[in-house]
């Protein structure tokens, strides 16, 4: 995995510095590559910022859900939905387990056993994730003098379907996943013509009919998600969900632009002008992405009826610093590359994201926003 990053990075830097290669110290280039390639991938850094921003509410919710489990032996079941394959998943679980154990010790109670479920689509790199598990488990055992039992299992599948047995889980998390819909909404064609031209998602510039179709798909998917999770959680079980969202309830306000995808729309338009891709292919392309408002989330939770809201907060991450465009473009690529390749083919990826980085830099230089909004909600399953 690291070797792949090194080779890709070497190719990128050689191409970038080709006009000046004789004036660059080989040592400096190698040192920079070493630092760059040993850093966590940018998508992990993006996700970790989300996780750390809501760690307090995540731990307090976990403690409320898990600390008083009375089964014999006491077994606490925790799941992370949309876990990906990096270390951030185990970072969350590790802190949840510590917090629950600390509460049990304060109450002079026996430590529970932990069953951890890691969920993502079958295409996720579970092998890489599982390679981190032995060290993770041994670390927790060492911290608790071997008096703790932690089991970890992978659960491949979409969280828009049932994943776990009824009333089997105490606590769930999901970070930067629920903005993805189960599918691109139907009805984005009018007499065979795309109606969302110039956009690749439900943007403020989209026609009202596009916003309606996306909202209807979000309602269907989020209602399904809540209903399924309510079947899998015990009464009093809790979820902490954190996703990309909108700063304003009014979809068509410019403040609700998602800069990564606005820049991607512009980059695809540039690709058309450079004859790298056909205009009709771009016009027919839409991401299954919906960024809800806090009001929409609250309305859907109460409409579904299985949960009460313990906490809800909107955050804004202002990434207005010099290297942010490069970092955000890599994050966007990690999240969207498979969808783009499926629609356009692999050959577009490198030039597209080179342009994407440049467009984000232009936004930054012009003083335009390149940050992103995050909404976090903590839910408790109500009694039936």
Identify whether 247 is part of a domain: no
**Cβ-proximal residues to 170 (8 Å cutoff; 6+ apart), any chain:** 65, 66, 69, 76, 77, 78, 233, 234, 237, 238
**Of 206 and 5, the one with more pLDDT:** 206
Q: Between these two residues, 228 and 53, which has the higher pLDDT value? A: 228
pLDDT beyond 50 at 23: no
Count the neighbouring beta carbons within 10 Å of the beta carbon of residue 312: 16
Beta strands in the chain (DSSP E): 75-81, 113-120, 150-156, 169-175, 189-190, 193-194, 233-244, 307-317, 372-381
Element (H, E) at 215: helix 208-232
Q: What is the mean pLDDT of residues 317-345?
A: 87
DSSP letter at 53 equals: H
What are phi and psi for residue 317, nearest 5 degrees? -100, 110
Residue 14 included in any domain: yes
SS3 153: strand
How far is Cα 153 from Cα 168, in angstroms, rounded to an integer? Answer: 14
Domain hosting residue 21, numbered range: 1-39
Count of all residues that appear for the chain in the document? 384
Q: What is the pLDDT of residue 49?
A: 67
Higher-confidence residue of 103 and 38: namely 103
| Distance from the first to the final alpha carbon of the chain | 47
Q: Is residue 143 part of a domain?
A: no
Query: Residues 325-338: pLDDT tens digits?
Result: 888 899 899 889 99
pLDDT at 74 over 80: yes
Q: Is residue 81 part of a domain?
A: no
Residue 258 falls within a domain, yes or no? no
Is position 31 within any domain?
yes
Residue 72: pLDDT over 60: no
The pLDDT of residue 352: 97
Q: Is residue 114 situated within a structural domain? A: no
Structurally, the chain folds into a number of domains equal to: 1
Mean pLDDT of the region 293-306:
97
| Region of 285 on the Ramachandran plot (φ > 0 left; ψ -120 to 50 alpha; else beta) | beta
**Is the residue at 271 inside a domain?**
no
């Amino acid at each position: 995995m690291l070797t792949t990053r090194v080779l890709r990075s070497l190719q990128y830097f050689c191409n970038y510095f080709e006009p000046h290669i004789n004036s660059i110290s080989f040592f400096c280039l190698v040192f920079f590559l070493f630092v760059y390639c040993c850093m966590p991938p940018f998508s992990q850094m993006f996700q970790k910022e989300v996780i750390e921003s809501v760690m307090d509410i995540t731990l307090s919710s976990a403690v409320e859900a898990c600390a008083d489990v009375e089964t014999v032996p006491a077994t606490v079941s925790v799941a992370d939905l949309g876990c990906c394959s990096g270390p951030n998943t185990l970072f969350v679980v590790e802190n949840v387990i510590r917090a629950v154990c600390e509460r049990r010790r304060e109450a002079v109670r026996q430590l529970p056993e932990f069953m951890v479920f890691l969920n993502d689509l079958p295409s996720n790199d579970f092998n890489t994730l599982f390679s981190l598990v032995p060290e993770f488990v041994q670390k927790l055992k060492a911290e608790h003098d071997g008096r703790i039992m932690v089991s970890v299992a992978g659960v491949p599948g979409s969280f828009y379907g049932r994943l776990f047995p009824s009333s089997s889980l105490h606590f769930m998390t999901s970070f930067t996943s629920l903005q993805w819909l189960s599918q691109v909404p139907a009805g984005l064609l009018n007499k065979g013509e795309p109606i969302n031209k110039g956009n690749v998602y439900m943007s403020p510039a989209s026609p009202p009919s596009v916003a309606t179709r996306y909202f209807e798909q979000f309602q269907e998917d989020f209602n399904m998600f809540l209903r399924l999770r309510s079947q899998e959680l015990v009464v009093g079980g809790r979820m902490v969900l954190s996703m990309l969202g909108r700063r304003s309830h009014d979809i068509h306000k410019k403040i609700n632009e998602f800069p990564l995808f606005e820049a991607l729309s512009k980059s695809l338009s540039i690709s058309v002008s450079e004859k790298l891709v056909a205009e009709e292919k771009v016009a027919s392309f839409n991401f299954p992405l919906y960024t809800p408002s806090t009001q929409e989330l609250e309305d859907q939770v109460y409409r579904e009826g299985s949960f009460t809201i313990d906490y809800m907060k909107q955050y804004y991450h202002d990434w207005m610093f010099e290297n942010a465009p490069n970092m955000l473009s890599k994050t966007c690529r990690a999240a969207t590359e498979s969808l783009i390749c499926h629609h356009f083919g692999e050959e577009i990826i490198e030039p597209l994201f080179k342009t994407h980085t440049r467009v984000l830099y232009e936004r930054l230089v012009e003083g335009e926003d390149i940050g992103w909004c995050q909404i976090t909600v903590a839910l408790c399953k109500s009694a039936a």
